[in-house]
Amino acid sequence: MREEERMNPGGNMLGLLRLTIKRGIDLAIRDVNASDPYIIVRLANQKLKTRVIKKTLNPEWNEDLTLYVTDVNEPLKLFVYDHDTLTLDDKMGDAEVDLKPFLESVKMNLEGMADETIVTSIKPDRHNCFIEESNIVWANGKVTQNMFLRLRNVESGEIELQLQWIEVPVR
């Protein structure tokens, strides 16, 4: 199997999404007085995992994960867990990001726009996990979006991350 077939089994890849998982803020305690958090990211049939950060409620991952995008309707899902050695890992909440606004911005012809131009803004509402307004920005020739997400199904916790679009050269 060729590399591009392995990376894109459906053959209809729109491009690559670089997800920088920056940090967790005020995550839930799942061990005695801290947790050993990590994040599982899902997009369609892809599943990636960050490294485990030991004994903290405010982990700093600063970790880049790259996923291929084949369907604009597929949400990005994040699941936070506490790593345990002898028992099943404990859930520490989840969040979901609708990628449609980001992907619609990617489709616009932004070449020639001023650097740091805000393409669109997404306000927090009861249908998303945003804590504050999140801007989709054209900067350094790339579309990026920084966001703070409130974790659901847990007593506390936020995740800071950034999306960046990577164009795939057409052969």
Tell me whether residue 139 is in a domain. Answer: yes
User: What ranges make up the beta strands (E) of the chain?
Assistant: 15-25, 37-43, 46-49, 60-69, 76-82, 90-97, 117-122, 134-139, 142-150, 158-166
Tell me whether residue 69 is in a domain. Answer: yes
Tell me whether residue 160 is in a domain. Answer: yes
Tell me how far apart the alpha carbons of residues 2 and 118 are, in angstroms, rounded to a whole number.
38
With 0.95 as the threshold, say if the pTM is over it. Answer: no
Give the pLDDT score at 170: 67
Tell me whether residue 5 is in a domain. Answer: no
Give the pLDDT score at 102: 97
Tell me whether residue 7 is in a domain. Answer: no
Tell me whether residue 108 is in a domain. Answer: yes
Give the pLDDT score at 7: 46
Q: What six digits make up the tokens of 85?
A: 């050695």
- Cα torsion angle, 116, 111, 12, 72, sign: positive
Tell me whether residue 4 is in a domain. Answer: no
Tell me whether residue 77 is in a domain. Answer: yes
- Specify the CATH number for the domain of residue 120: 2.60.40.150
For 38-54, the pLDDT digits (tens) are: 999 999 999 999 999 99
Residue numbers of the domain that contains 38: 12-166
Report the number of distinct structural domains present in the chain: 1
Give the pLDDT score at 11: 57
Burial class (CB in 10 A: 0-12, 13-18, 19+), 86: exposed
Q: Could you say which residues of the chain have pLDDT below 50?
A: 1-9
